[in-house]
Structure 1
Amino acid sequence: MGFDRGFTRALIVRFVLLLGATFAVVWAWQTPGLVAVRWLAALVLAGTVYGLWQLISRTNVEVARFIETLRLGDLTAHFSGREGSGFGTLGDAFNAAIQQVREERRLSGDELRYLEALIDDMPVALLTADASGRIDPGNKAARRLFARHGGARAEDYAVYGATFAARLAGGGADREEMLILNLDGHAQRALVRSATLTRLGRTTRATIVQPVHDTLNEIEMAAQTDLVRVLTHEILNSLTPVTSLAATAAGLLGEIDRGGDPRLADAHQAVATLARRAEGLARFIDSYRAVASPPRLQRQTFAAAPFVAEIARLFAADWPSVHLHVQIDPPSLELHADPDLLAQVLINLLRNAGEATIAIERADIVLGLYRRAPGQLAIEVSDNGPGVPPALYGDVFLPFFTTRASGTGVGLNLARQIVVAHGGNIEVSQGPAGGALFRILL
């Protein structure tokens, strides 16, 4: 890197003029009677010094302006290296360097935009908290999931759960835990992870919220079906020889019982009873194999109004004394589901509601289908019966659990299996009339 030729020539000329003017001033000063020459030589010397200073100063100013532009972050700057500056080669190097910096910044910007888009589109909700305690949603999933509150403080998130708000405000050690959050209008289990990050001297607490309610429902359903499948298989295997031996023993005792020995008659009756109960128990257990068979969906899109009208006619034929009110909002609502399996769920829920209200003077049941949000459907069955005790909310969907003497404990579990197979959720709570409210979210 060096000076360009124009600058070198200009510098040499000015140095020659400077030496010549200096020599002329000295000569004129030592020679008497040359006053005018002295002044002329002094003026030439001053002009030469000023020109040399201008030449160097112009280059310094241009370099200083270029560096100042870079310091202010303007990467569009260009070092002109115009004639007379003397730094053409240096200017080319500056321009090549700034071009490389611009390219690196462009690549860094592209990478940053990619990472921002990746975080924004990730399916897990991200919340960030700065040192002042301000909570901000970090991506689209967080903005969709936490859209029911106003404000940016931790206490504003209490609408989703007091424990969750306390975790956002508390900070402390990094943790991972399962919390019950009020999301989309109902309680859901969510995995909450928190971590403290320090970058560029700034501390940020990141909280990731991942609803796992549907996933846990599917795992629970799979575990229940596997358990029922194993139990029914093992119990039937053990019960089959008992049934066969009891029937054989009852037959033999019947052949030798002539009424002469009352003890023999009692034994015959006891073994015959055992045979009947064992056979009935075998049929009872075999009927539960339906619980261990996951439903296979055949989805289709169909109008809600005629679908519900048919279910209402079936219900009215079995329960003529119960008033069924149907609500569909909007009236043009369409469903995308397996109509046969979904009808089985609704008939089961309506039958349970009818049995719960049959002893009431005016039994009322409401079947409602509502569009809650784009792509989300709510189906509700509520009654004015005695309702379900809150302590049993988590038990009513378990296989074989029932509160009725004549119940089997299969219907609600099958209903839950069908709903979960649709990718939805079913829950029970207290209805507006004081009875039970079963809500299906699809």
Structure 2
Amino acid sequence: MASDRVATGVRMLVATAAGAAAAWSAAAGLYATTVLALLVAAWTGGAAVFALRPPLPPPPPPPVPAGEDERRRLVAYLDLSPAPLVVLEDGVLRAVNRAARRLFAADDTIAAAPPALVAVMTQTAPGRTATVTLDQGGIARPFALAAGELLLGGRVAQVGALIDIGTELKAAEATALRDLVQVLSHEIVNALTPIASLADTAAAMLRDTPPDLAAVREAVETVARRSGGLQRFGDTYRSLARLPAPDRNRVGIADLTTDLARLFAVRWPGIVLDVDITHAPPTILADADQLSAALWAVLQNAAEAMIDAAVPAPAARLAATTTVDAVAFTIANRGPAITPELAETIFHPFMTTKPEGSGVGLALARQIVRGHGGDIALLPAAGGWTAFVASLPLPRGF
């Protein structure tokens, strides 16, 4: 700046004057004055030169530790995730990313942790998924929870990712309602059409003189039978729609399979049922009555399929095995293979290929198994066996 240049010029003048004074003092023999003048000239000249030097560059910022750099990068990645991420450690629930902080209106610790979420995270095994409903401002919002574990300071913490499934559930409910209406309308119309026709026929017969009472009686009896079938259809639908939540208790697998085998032998003595629970746990947490009904429905379906197909040497298998985090019940039979077209609808309510079938057995079995947090599926045919597998999850620490 201008003021700096003026100060530097003054210093140079002082240094010049001090040099001249030193020369004069030396010539006059004033040596002490000469030394003092030289010191002043040296100091002033040095200050002027120092002032004219170029400015030093600013010091570089301190390096960021490698661990801190990784942490910042991880935080940025997590904040980009639209799924709220939470961690449960020692009973304390914390929000991990921006989506979780926004969902629970918390910076870190979630003070009012939803009890339902804490319970589901505690009970769900790593790698499994569960559903939980959270109250958001008086509105119930369903979420899917993907569970995992994390080792923090020698302690195990539960990690959860929440996925809003409200839109998907609404779409699934709309599809299910449409399918149900189609099934109900089809079944009811099919039952009512002959009933109405026979009722008109009977009424016309009664107007004849004299009426043919035998024909009228036959028509009325047919109406009664078809009406009874329609009533049974309504009762079956009611039982499927009113399935209660499972009352879970420890169920001995040996007792469960022994009872099923005994009932099977009485009901179908001509079919051999092989039971294998060698690789199964001693007990499972389930509703004993519902689980027995689900397995029995699949066994009944297997037996009837072999009888309808007149299989020469009918045989069935019931096996229970343990997987990483579930118990799998496999029911196989020597009946005919299920076609791909039929496999797509075999679990739909009221879908049946039997003349007197209700089409509820497999649908009820799937509803029961899913009510326990598991699922049931048709396995690919292998070695002449048609098999279904019902998997029920094992609770954490079971």
Q: TM-score range by the shorter chain?
A: 0.5 to 0.7
- What residue in structure 2 maps to residue 297 of structure 1? 245
Report the equivalent of 1:69.
61
Is the CA contact (8 Å cut-off) linking 2:330 and 2:390 kept in structure 1?
A: yes
Shift in Å, 1:109: 9.3
Q: Which residue of 1 aligns with 2:360?
A: 410
Q: Pairwise CA RMSD of aligned residues?
A: 4.8
Give secondary structure in 2 for the equivalent of 1:369: strand
Q: Residue 401 of structure 1: SS of its match in structure 2?
A: coil
Residue 46 of structure 1 deviates from its aligned partner by: 1.9
1:285 aligns with 2:236: no
CA distance in 2, matches of 1:333, 1:246: 62
Q: Percent identity?
A: 24
Structure 1 position 314, deviation (Å):
0.7
Aligned counterpart, 1:121: 85
Aligned counterparts of 1:319 and 1:64: Cα–Cα separation in 2: 93
Cα displacement (A) at 1:269: 5.9
Shift of 1:342: 2.5
1:360-381 deviation digits (Å, cap 9, x = unpaired): 443321112333332x343221
Task: Find out whether 1:323 has 2:319 as its counterpart.
Answer: no
Q: Give, in whole Å, the separation in 1 of the partners of 2:84 and 2:278.
A: 33
Of 314, 329, 332, which aligns to 1:363?
314
| Matching of residue 46 in structure 1 with residue 42 in structure 2 | yes
Q: For this pair of structures, how many residues does the alignment match? A: 302
Residue number in structure 2 paired with 1:138 = none
Matched, 1:28 2:22: yes
Q: Is there any run of 5+ residues in structure 1 with no aligned partner, and where?
A: 1-11, 75-104, 123-142, 146-207, 258-264
Aligned counterpart, 1:189: none
Q: What is the CA distance between 1:327 and its match in structure 2?
A: 2.8
1:31/1:42 Cα in 2 relative to 1: closer, same or farther (>3 Å)? closer
- Counterpart of 1:355 in structure 2: which amino acid? E
Residue by residue, what CA displacement relative to the aligned partner does 1:394-435 show, whole Å, maximum 9, x if unpaired? 122234433334434332233333334444433223343323
Q: Which amino acid aligns with 1:372?
A: T
Instruction: Give, in whole Å, the separation in 2 of the partners of 1:243 and 1:369.
Output: 51
Shift of 1:338: 3.1
2:168 and 2:262 map into 1 onto residues whose CA distance is 34
The 1:283/1:213 distance shift into structure 2, 3 A limit, reads farther
1:256 is aligned to 210
Q: Within 2, Cα distance between the matches of 1:314 and 1:27?
A: 129
Q: Which amino acid counterpart does residue 23 of structure 1 have in structure 2? A: A
TM-score where L is the length of structure 1: 0.53
Given that 1:400 and 1:410 are in contact with CA atoms closer than 8 Å, whether structure 2 keeps it comes out as yes
Structure 2 CA distance for aligned equivalents of residues 326 and 283 of structure 1: 38
1:383 deviation in Å? Answer: 1.2
Q: CA deviation at 1:110?
A: 11
**Aligned partners of 2:297 and 2:362 also within 8 Å:** yes
Secondary structure of 1:298 counterpart = coil
After TM superposition, the structure 1 = structure 2 runs for residues 18-417 of structure 1, keeping only pairs within 5 Å, are 22-30=16-24, 33-34=27-28, 41-50=37-46, 64-65=58-59, 68-69=60-61, 72=63, 112=76, 115=79, 119=83, 121=85, 144=127, 221-229=176-184, 245-247=200-202, 256=210, 271-289=216-234, 290-291=236-237, 293-294=240-241, 295-303=243-251, 304-328=253-277, 330-358=279-307, 359-374=310-325, 376-417=326-367
2:318 partner SS? strand
Over residues 31-52 of structure 1, what are the superposed CA-to-partner deviations in whole Å (9 max), with x where a residue is unaligned?
Answer: 6725856566334422444367
Per-residue deviation, residues 231-260 of structure 1 (Å, max 9, x unmatched):
66677777766565555555666x825xxx
Query: TM-score, normalization: structure 2?
Result: 0.58
Greater relative contact order, per chain length (Cα 8 Å cut-off, separation 6+): 2
**Structure 2 portions without partners, runs of 5+:** 1-6, 87-125, 129-162, 393-398
**Preserved contact between residue 294 and residue 368 of structure 2 (Cα < 8 Å):** yes
Tell me the SS of whatever aligns to 1:433: coil
Give the direction of change, closer, same or farther, for the CA distance of 1:370–1:216 in structure 2 (3 Å limit): farther
